[in-house]
Amino acid sequence: MTSLQVGDRVPDFTLPSATGENVSLKDFLGKKAVVVYFYPKDDTPGCTAESCAFRDSYDVFKEAGAEIIGISSDSVESHQQFANKYQLPFILLSDREGKVRKLFDVPSTLFILPGRVTYVIDKDGIVRHIFNSMLDFKAHVEEALKTIQSIN
């Protein structure tokens, strides 16, 4: 399997959300662009900084016609607590078995830590930008927003 590249059609997936309901990527395609960000773990310093940066820019993403989806291997219950604690207004999905992470071919860091990668997908389901940085948390938001604004 080759890794997902800019210009590729994004694979569909369905995962449980923090509310327990299943969410599919196809529910958004054809209607709006989607920012899918994979992060290592709920309520850790870097992941909290990244998620709160997405939260703080959420209205700008919505105005630009985009939805944000965060994905980690944490449980639905962990996502509920994380979203409530930091008032995260966007969707968090639980990829307990890492199937979607593998589908997107998100690399691990040092072969241990789940990677931190953001994908910007246009409303037609085409990957328009990929940003991979384990430590530059806020750049994920900046890169995604710049891409969303350029495609709309």
Among 47, 66, 91, 141, the active-site one is 47
Give me the residues paired with residue 68 across strands: 35
Give me the residues paired with residue 120 across strands: 35, 129
Residue 47 is among the residues annotated as catalytic for this protein = yes
Q: What is the Cα–Cα distance from 110 to 94, expressed in whole angstroms?
A: 23
Residue 14 has a CB neighbour count (10 Å cut-off) of 12
Q: Specify whether the CB–CB gap between 111 and 18 falls below 8 A.
A: no
Residues serving a catalytic function are 47
